[in-house]
Amino acid sequence: MNIVVTGGAGFIGANFVYYMLKQRPADKIICFDKLTYAGNMATLDKAMTKEKFKFIRGDIADRRAVDKLFRDEKPDIIVNFAAESHVDRSIEDPELFLRTNILGTSVLLDACRKYGIDRYHQVSTDEVYGDLPLDRPDLFFTETTPLHTSSPYSASKASADLLVQAYSRTYKIPVTISRCSNNYGPFHFPEKLIPLMIINALHDKKLPVYGKGENVRDWLYVKDHCSAINLVLTKGKAGEVYNIGGHNERRNIDVVKIILKELGKPESLIEHVEDRKGHDRRYAIDPTKIRNDLGWEPETKFEDGIKQTIQWYLEHKDWWENIISGEYQNYYDKMYGNR
């Protein structure tokens, strides 16, 4: 099979490329990525040596480029990871999120209509459900929870989901959607909570915790997300939505303290800064459907995954030093300078 992975030079997409090269050695994996600030060819170094892997630079919102992709590569499966993914950036400047996340999705779907596809899979997020109150630990997001978004990022992802469902119903395109909770692991871009805190702590820099740090995220090791998507591709039913999560809820402040403890750094590095606008309080996935229908279980416990992740950052300084020494520095100064 020819499997196109859009956004495969980013955090989860690249982990998925490596997962698929290992799990499905007979299939050809084609990464289609615009290489925005979040895309990184260094991440794909090892994949580039594999015969079954091909990289194509391109924009999912560019119709001509996507048309060429379909004509040249004749994909059987599309897995769409490509997105602008950072909530804080979407609050600063929403427009690019609409172009890539919404228009880009519709361009891919139009190509599926024109050329045909065995499966179009949309990598969505639990953020489309909005948030849950902190004092109701009994509540979880299920696949039937209404979409109710908070940030321009989550609104753009929810819009894309609606388009995917509309194309499924109207044009009978065989689609699936997965909505996963927060991922962590290797190749996570330094702007996101866990890598940002690891890298700042290593530099004895302040750790900027938004507000009181009481917001809760439901963390999943990235490889478990990859195994879930592969299972949805092989066993999932067209037209269905699958939530992905491992019941691992943590307050941000507790995650930050674990990182400091692992690195032997003092809690005095923590600095409470101005809260994120519209900050979602709690995410929590109910993964009953994917567990019962497809038999998916996560393998990595947070206690192990966070240690492995910290170790990975310690062993791959070149990877992240390259990132933080470039344009990222301007972003950091702009985002945290006046907070």
Cβ–Cβ under 8 Å, residues 244 and 219: no
Span of 66-74, 75-83, 166-174, 280-288 interacting with ligand NAD by CB under 6 A:
75-83
The first and second tokens of residue 215, run together, are: 């917001």
193 binds, among ligand NAD, ligand DAU, none (CB under 5 to 8 A by kind): ligand DAU
Q: How far is the CB of 201 from ligand DAU (least distance, A)?
A: 12
Cβ–Cβ under 8 Å, residues 149 and 155: yes
Q: Cα separation of 217 and 284, whole Å? A: 7
Which residues ranging from 229 to 258 are in contact with ligand DAU (CB under 6 A)? 252
Q: Which residue has the tokens 């170094």?
A: 45
Nearest by Cα to 57 from 9, 105, 20: 9
289 binds, among ligand NAD, ligand DAU, none (CB under 5 to 8 A by kind): none
Q: How far is the CB of 45 from ligand NAD (least distance, A)?
A: 14
Is residue 100 a contact residue for ligand NAD (CB under 6 A)? Answer: yes
H/E run at residue 283 = none
Report the SS3 class of residue 185: coil
Q: Cα separation of 87 and 184, whole Å? A: 16
Per-residue binding letters, 95-134, with ligand DAU (x by CB under 6 A): ------------------------------xxx-------
The first and second tokens of residue 231, run together, are: 């299972």
The first and second tokens of residue 3, run together, are: 């499997």
Ranges of beta strands (E only) in 77-117 are 77-80
H/E run at residue 220 = strand 220-221
Span of 77-85, 296-304, 311-319, 327-335 interacting with ligand NAD by CB under 6 A:
77-85
Is residue 60 a contact residue for ligand NAD (CB under 6 A)? Answer: yes
Query: Which of 215, 227, 230, 300 contacts ligand DAU by CB under 6 A?
Result: 215
Indicate the residue whose CB is closest to ligand NAD: 10
Query: Which of 85, 150, 168, 200 contacts ligand NAD by CB under 6 A?
Result: 85
Q: Which of 310-315's residues contact partners 24+ apart within 8 Å by CB, and which partners?
A: 310/198, 310/259, 310/262, 310/263, 312/185, 312/186, 313/195, 313/198, 313/199, 313/202, 314/202
Per-residue binding letters, 141-180, with ligand DAU (x by CB under 6 A): ----------------------------------------
Q: Which residue has the tokens 């600095």?
A: 271
Span of 91-99, 100-108, 205-213, 289-297 interacting with ligand DAU by CB under 6 A:
205-213
Q: Cα separation of 220 and 226, whole Å? A: 10
Nearer to ligand DAU, 106 or 215 (CB): 215
209 binds, among ligand DAU, ligand NAD, none (CB under 5 to 8 A by kind): ligand DAU
Query: Which of 109, 201, 209, 231 contacts ligand DAU by CB under 6 A?
Result: 209
H/E run at residue 132 = none
Q: How far is the CB of 60 from ligand DAU (least distance, A)?
A: 16
User: What residues line the site for ligand NAD (CB under 6 A)?
Assistant: 6-7, 9-13, 33-36, 38-39, 59-61, 81-85, 100, 104, 123, 125, 157, 180, 182-183, 189
